């Protein structure tokens, strides 16, 4: 198959790698290709034989399947930008973490082109599973797309013929998962500051004996430090989803604020390994918590 990947970030590159390894033609586009951030993308494309396009429309012009894997806030814009090049009858697989309303809006320009929009909710982190990450498909063309997607290696199943149901499932899950990330960072940093982390961890282990809180905290800290900006965008979409359901999204919005706050600290280099000039992969949440505590103390005294 000829496949277009729109958004050549972590998820887009993983899908491109696996699809190329299976012998398919892959063309990719990312707005960052025009910037310094595009240098590693170009290097990746050379290693894996991925063709890079100059625009979304040119990337999709011959594609039988287009995979949209952009940041959540660009979901609708990506569909609009791709629409001019989509072949009639081709599938447009939207794997972005966006609200049901955003997915419905994104489907409109695709449908006007005569292509078939399919929403997809990715229900686990992609890196451990790669192309086998579980996908919930939605929309009137989901059932038609299912055989081709499974043949390509995607672990897909149809959630609903109604657009928005699959995304609602993912977004409601995100309120818990990414909300828990934000709560763990806030709670564990505060506990470390007061010197009560041992007692707190003992209590958590007693209440939730099935969770290794040391390991989980290390994982949460690292995921937010490395991908906090993207996760905050997803939580903004989760907040929109909650609002679309008629509720005020107190928890989702606050979690997005905490994710953004950590992302800002990461961008400022707070968590960098200064010997290598890159983010340290410590997996020890105490090291990251101490850096946050020192930062907060220094800013309070300015």
- The backbone torsions φ and ψ at residue 2, rounded to the nearest 5 degrees and listed phi first, read -100, 120
Residue 13's pLDDT band, with cuts at 50, 70 and 90, is: very high
Looking at residues 234-242, what average pLDDT do you find? 96
Q: Is the pLDDT of residue 277 over 50?
A: no
Q: Is the pLDDT of residue 115 over 50?
A: yes
Question: For the chain, where are the E strands, in sequence order?
Answer: 2-6, 25-29, 51-52, 65-68, 91-94, 116-122, 134-138, 155-160, 272-273, 278-279
Looking at residues 255-267, what average pLDDT do you find? 96
Closest CA to 118 of 132, 106, 134: 106
- The backbone torsions φ and ψ at residue 262, rounded to the nearest 5 degrees and listed phi first, read -65, -40
Query: What pLDDT does residue 302 have?
Result: 56
- The CATH code of the domain that includes 192 is 1.10.1040.10
Looking at residues 46-57, what average pLDDT do you find? 96
Residue 17's pLDDT band, with cuts at 50, 70 and 90, is: very high
Residue where one domain finishes, among candidates 161, 188, 209: 161
Q: Are residues 17 and 112 in the same domain?
A: yes
Cβ pair 65, 88 in contact under 8 A: no
Looking at residues 189-208, what average pLDDT do you find? 97
Q: Are residues 186 and 112 in the same domain?
A: no
Looking at residues 227-244, what average pLDDT do you find? 94
Compute the mean pLDDT over every residue in the chain, rounded to the nearest whole number.
94
Looking at residues 288-292, what average pLDDT do you find? 96
Q: Are residues 127 and 180 in the same domain?
A: no
Residue where one domain finishes, among candidates 161, 193, 226: 161
- The CATH code of the domain that includes 105 is 3.40.50.720
Q: Are residues 129 and 180 in the same domain?
A: no
Domain membership of residue 254 as a residue range: 167-300
Q: Are residues 118 and 257 in the same domain?
A: no
Q: Are residues 198 and 50 in the same domain?
A: no
Residue 223 CB contacts under 8 Å (≥ 6 apart), including other chains: 125, 181, 231
Q: What is the C-alpha to C-alpha distance for residues 57 and 62, in angstroms, rounded to an integer?
A: 10
Which tokens go with 181?
A: 């990330």
Residue 274's pLDDT band, with cuts at 50, 70 and 90, is: very low
Q: Are residues 73 and 205 in the same domain?
A: no
Residue where one domain finishes, among candidates 118, 134, 161: 161
Looking at residues 239-268, what average pLDDT do you find? 96
- Burial per residue of 65-100, b for 16 or more beta-carbon CB atoms within 10 angstroms, e otherwise: bbbbbbbbbbbbebbbbbbebbbeebbbbbbbbbbb
Looking at residues 59-66, what average pLDDT do you find? 97
Q: Could you tell me how far CA 118 lies from the centroid of its own chain?
A: 18
Query: What pLDDT does residue 282 have?
Result: 56
Closest CA to 25 of 114, 155, 152: 152
Query: What pLDDT does residue 283 have?
Result: 78
Q: Name the percent of the chain lying above pLDDT 70.
A: 96
Per the structure, how many domains does the chain have? 2
pTM for the predicted model, two decimal places: 0.88
**69-89 pLDDT tens trace:** 999 999 999 999 999 999 999
Q: Is the pLDDT of residue 178 over 60?
A: yes
Q: Are residues 140 and 271 in the same domain?
A: no
Looking at residues 137-144, what average pLDDT do you find? 98
Looking at residues 60-72, what average pLDDT do you find? 96
> 3-state class of 300 per DSSP?
helix
Q: Are residues 150 and 186 in the same domain?
A: no
Which tokens go with 286?
A: 């105490």
Cβ pair 154, 135 in contact under 8 A: yes
Query: What pLDDT does residue 300 have?
Result: 81
Which tokens go with 56?
A: 């979304």
Q: How many CB atoms lie within 10 A of CB 276?
A: 8
């Amino acid at each position: 198959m000829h496949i277009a990947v729109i958004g050549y970030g972590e998820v887009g590159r993983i899908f491109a790698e696996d699809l190329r390894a299976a012998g398919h033609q892959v063309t990719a586009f990312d707005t960052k290709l025009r910037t310094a951030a595009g240098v590693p993308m170009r290097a990746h494309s050379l290693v894996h034989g991925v063709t890079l396009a100059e625009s979304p429309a040119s990337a999709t012009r011959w594609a039988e399947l287009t995979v949209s894997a952009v940041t959540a806030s660009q979901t609708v814009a990506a569909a609009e930008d791709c629409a001019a090049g989509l072949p009639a009858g081709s599938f447009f697989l939207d794997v972005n973490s966006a609200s049901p309303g955003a997915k419905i809006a994104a489907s409109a320009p695709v449908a006007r082109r005569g292509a078939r929009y399919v929403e997809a909710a990715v229900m686990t982190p992609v890196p451990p599973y790669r192309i086998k990450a579980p996908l919930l498909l939605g929309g009137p063309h989901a059932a038609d797309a299912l055989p081709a997607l499974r043949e390509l290696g995607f672990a897909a199943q149809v959630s609903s013929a109604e657009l928005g149901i699959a995304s609602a499932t993912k977004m409601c899950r995100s309120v818990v998962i990414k909300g828990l990330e934000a709560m763990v960072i806030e709670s564990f940093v505060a506990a470390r500051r007061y010197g009560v982390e041992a007692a707190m961890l003992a209590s958590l282990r007693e209440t939730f004996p099935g969770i290794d809180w040391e390991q989980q905290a290390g994982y949460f800290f690292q995921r937010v430090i490395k991908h906090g900006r993207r996760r905050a965008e997803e939580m903004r979409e989760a907040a929109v989803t909650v609002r679309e359901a008629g509720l005020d999204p107190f928890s989702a919005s606050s979690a997005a604020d905490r994710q953004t706050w950590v992302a800002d600290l990461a961008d400022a280099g707070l968590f960098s390994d200064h010997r290598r000039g890159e983010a340290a992969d410590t997996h020890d949440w105490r090291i990251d918590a101490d850096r946050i505590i020192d930062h907060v103390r220094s800013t309070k005294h300015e």
